Amino acid sequence: MRHLDAFADGLITAHQNGQGFFPKGLAPKTPAEAYYVQDRVVAALGPVAGFKTARKPGQATIMAPILDRFAFATGASVPIGDSMGLELEIGWQIIAPLPEASAGDLDAKLRHCVRPVPVIELVDCRLRGPVAQDPVAKLADFQINKGVIIGRPLDDWDGRDFGAVKGRMVAGDQTLLDGPAEVPGGSALTTLGVFLAEIGARGGGLDVGQVVITGSLHPLTYVALPCEVLGRIDGLGTVAVTLSGHQRE
């Protein structure tokens, strides 16, 4: 798939300088080609802080790495750029080596290896031009992940799954979520198990300390002005970020 190296190199530069990339050559056309590009970018810019995934009926599982350089603790200040997409999600922080995906009673075993954590995903497409609307190209572009804001893990977690939840997400004076919501696929723990079965060694594989996010609890929303963003998932906790008008030091 070396014909996609120029596309990957353009994305690598876009990650580094924060500017858009206008592809002039061949773009990925299949998920396998998209994952080839992902792997090339990770090899150049890793390590990886975690992965984003989500399950939707009738669609393949989404898998994309999150670069460590764009993972921040709750309360961080991040430059907004021209705009920033926001999603409130349930994440899983890996606290112990994970079981084999083929293990019996996988969900029960996973409960000993992870802790739930509230996460704000930052979203921004690095691609420019018509290709920016292509689903496969967006998959190659880390499913347009810009970064994550990671809240505090629920250390006294009782092992319960998250499916239907209640939460609130505000960005400045804009309310993105206020009330009931559902995890894509209906089960955050099942989403993690499916992801574990499919990820393999891609992006270096899953490791202790990483976070897996499981899909947005509300429609992706873009904001264009600096503001304070606060998310809350009942029974899990809060997570916050300041979208600033200045570059982070």
Residue 113: strand, helix, or coil: coil
Q: Which residue has the higher pLDDT, 211 or 102?
A: 211
Spatial distance between the Cα atoms of 232 and 249, rounded to a whole number of angstroms: 27
Residue 204: pLDDT band with limits 50, 70, 90: confident
Does 248 have pLDDT greater than 50? no
Does 215 have pLDDT greater than 70? yes
Name the phi and psi angles at 152, rounded to 5: -85, 135
Please say whether the beta carbons of 38 and 140 come within 8 A. Answer: yes
Task: Find the mean pLDDT for residues 222-245.
Answer: 97
Residue 181: strand, helix, or coil: strand
pLDDT at 111 (0 to 100): 92
Please say whether the beta carbons of 175 and 181 come within 8 A. Answer: no
Does 78 have pLDDT greater than 50? yes
pLDDT at 212 (0 to 100): 97
User: Average pLDDT over the chain, rounded to whole?
Assistant: 93
pTM, two decimals, is 0.94
Q: Domain locations in the chain? A: 47-244
Q: 47-244: which CATH topology? A: Fumarylacetoacetate hydrolase; domain 2 (3.90.850)
Cα–chain-centroid distance for residue 120?
Answer: 9
Q: Give percent of the chain with pLDDT exceeding 70.
A: 98
Q: Which residue has the higher pLDDT, 60 or 39?
A: 39
Residue 11: strand, helix, or coil: helix
Count of CB atoms within 10 A of residue 8's CB? 21
pLDDT at 200 (0 to 100): 77
Please say whether the beta carbons of 204 and 104 come within 8 A. Answer: no
Least confident of 54-58, 129-133, 185-189: 54-58
pLDDT at 246 (0 to 100): 59
